[in-house]
Chains A and B, each alone.
Chain A
Amino acid sequence: MKTMKKIKGTTILAAVIFLLLAALPFYMPMFRVSLFGKYMCFAIIALGLDMIWGYTGILSLGHGVYFGLGAYCMAMYLKLEAAGGNLPDFMSWSGLDRLPAAWVPFGNPVFAVAMAVAVPVLLAVIIGYLTFTNKIRGVYFSILSQAMAMIMGTLLIGSQAFTGGSNGLTDFKTIFGQDIHAPVTKIVMFYVTLLVLVLLFALCRFLTGRRVGKVLIAIRDGENRAGFAGYNTANYKVFVYALSAFMAGIAGALYVGQVGIISPAEVGVVPSVEMIIWVAIGGKGTLIGPVLGALAVNSLKTTASENFPELWSYFIGVLFVVVILWLPGGVISLKEIPGKIRAKLRLHREETSSAEEKIPDKTAVRSK
């Protein structure tokens, strides 16, 4: 009964959030719609992180890497299309006179989209396999993943001729032959992102509802015990790690078209940690919580940075501290507060009534 009710509540919340997003272009200016397109990409990352952190208990501080790989794969295609057969601008500035071999196939949009998904998944499988089968766990894994984010940032900046260095890849003109700045294109990209978000949300709901989701929780609660129950926990961890990388990669590919730039500043350590903050603030282990967290935190960030450009990072910091201290279940656990107050009141009433019971006037109670 209780679980039924819980599922219902989050489903309603999810439906409301997705409907509000779907209706967004009708009541918000184009500029805001594009911003929400970006936030939805973040929500997709948060969803993937919830699978690996909220459900499986693996804290990855390096998902910027997978987001970045997806985004750069897509950006390479966009950049080549914008260059229109010529060498991309930053390459000639860096003294290259020919397109590097690795770039050539990215002229094909299908290849680029496929790589935006395949590269993150492949890297996650390799890294995951090496770490999880060697039983690298907990904080050691977190440090390792953080180091990866750092390496990624350094690599991108260091190989300027191939990646555009710290400026990243930008100045896109068209996407699949359409003007990337046209309102119609932007609306289409917005709805594609929303569709992907809803589909991935449904996928995660499906997985967490099946036994595989229970195995993930079992790994979180007692990995050794799950192993002695016959589950190859390393396989499950590689699977969920690859799944979350897959989602981050898709998010990256969707992000680039809408935002128009990807640079090392969006894929390094700081953004990777920010992703975790969205999940924590939203409420991990609930799927819809992290989606809400990513949307809300980023809206707040935008509002705060528009009005208090110097102070916005403090807002996020304070919010994070408040949630960790007083709301460990995240924003989503706010709904439990009335219940908690009721339980406290009931306890209080029971205490006072048990004190009253000592008065030997039982008839009065019965007649009531």
Chain B
Amino acid sequence: MEQLMERMDTGVTPVLDIEDVSIQFGDFKAIKDVSTSIGKNEIRFFIGPNGAGKTTILDAICGKNKVSDGKIVFHGDSGDRDVTRMKEYAISDLGIGRKFQAPSVFGGITIDENMELAVARKHSIYSTTFLKLSKEKREYMNHILEFIGLKDKRFQYPSSLSHGEKQWLEIGMLMAARPKLMLLDEPVAGMGRRETEKTAEMLKNIKKECSIIVVEHDMQFAKDVSDTVTVFHEGTVLDEGTMETVQQNQQVIDVYLGRG
């Protein structure tokens, strides 16, 4: 905790501030007054038992869930913006990329075309009809395809990819949009150890260019990759800090870590 406070005091600029956010579904309060702040180039892990509200808050950040109270302020290129009332495509355009739990690449178009849709920054019908990708965008796309190891397969359809490769393609598609913040929901679920390690390497590289929030149950992966973790329990923040510090917290051990 001290470490975190110290980091904040040294004036690292935050990318995202979640301020007293509550989310309600009917009578059920899924998230209660959660506040946290994600710094620049930070990899933050959201951990906690099932139903603690980790994915719910990711959904709120990217515009899939409505926030009933509080603010989520994103510090992007266009100044500080509260994203809680914005549409998902507008949030995406601000520079927040979201990856869902199940790999959800577009099966009807090739890997190359998947990347093309992701790398394009202009999304209007006019530009998708008449404009071609710039040379620079093409090069960046090639760079990413190489980075995720799918350059040789680019003209195939995603159905020919393994589960892990699909996840990487999706991460690559997020990168292509050059977001300032990436939201990843269980990126290594269903991956083998080797694939998980490769994913960890990727995230450490991506971190140089943007901040990442990861929801994950794989504790080894969290330990390897995270800068800081936030522990959720029943819709509230139980603890926050580095993996080492939260692992010492008796409450965290009781509700979550201890059970493993």
| A→B interface (CB under 8 Å) | 1-3, 207, 210-212, 214-215, 217-218, 220-222, 224-233, 235-236, 239, 285
Contacts and interface: CB of A to CB of B under 8 A. Distances in A.
Contacts of A230: 89, 92-93, 121, 123, 177
A184 B104 CA distance: 56
A3 B155 contact: yes
Contact of B106 (A1, A3, A218): A218
B98 A228 contact: yes
Interface residues of B, number: 33
B117 A228 contact: no
A3 B110 contact: yes
Contacts of B106: 214, 217-218, 221-222, 225-226
Contacts of A226: 106, 117
Contacts of A214: 106, 109, 113, 116-117, 128
A211 B92 contact: no
B51 to A, nearest CB: 22
Contacts of B107: 221
Nearest to A230: B92
Contact of A212 (B100, B105, B129): B129
A235 to B, nearest CB: 6
Of residues A3, A211, A225, A226, which shows the largest number of chain B Cβ atoms within 10 Å of its Cβ? A211
Contact of A225 (B93, B104, B121, B155): B104
A86 B124 CA distance: 50
A229 B62 contact: no
A325 B214 CA distance: 43
B138 to A, nearest CB: 13
27 contacts: A1-B155, A210-B129, A211-B116, A211-B117, A211-B128, A212-B128, A217-B109, A218-B108, A218-B117, A221-B107, A222-B104, A224-B64, A224-B100, A225-B100, A225-B105, A227-B89, A227-B92, A228-B62, A228-B89, A228-B92, A228-B97, A229-B118, A230-B89, A230-B123, A232-B89, A232-B123, A233-B89
A236 B89 contact: no
Contacts of B118: 229
Of residues A221, A224, A229, which shows the largest number of chain B Cβ atoms within 10 Å of its Cβ? A229
Contacts of B87: 232
Contacts of B92: 227-230
B216 interface: no
Contacts of B117: 211, 214-215, 218, 226, 229, 231
A231 B123 contact: yes
A221 B108 contact: yes
B125 interface: yes
Contacts of B155: 1-3
A285 to B, nearest CB: 8
Given A224-B100, A224-B104, A229-B173, 15 more contacts: A1-B155, A211-B116, A211-B120, A212-B129, A214-B117, A217-B109, A220-B108, A222-B104, A222-B105, A225-B104, A227-B89, A228-B97, A230-B93, A231-B117, A235-B124
Nearest to A4: B155
B88 interface: yes
Contacts of A211: 116-117, 120, 128-129, 131
B129 A207 contact: yes
A226 B108 CA distance: 13
Contact of A236 (B88, B121, B125): B125
Interface string B125-169: 100111100000000000000000000000100000000000000
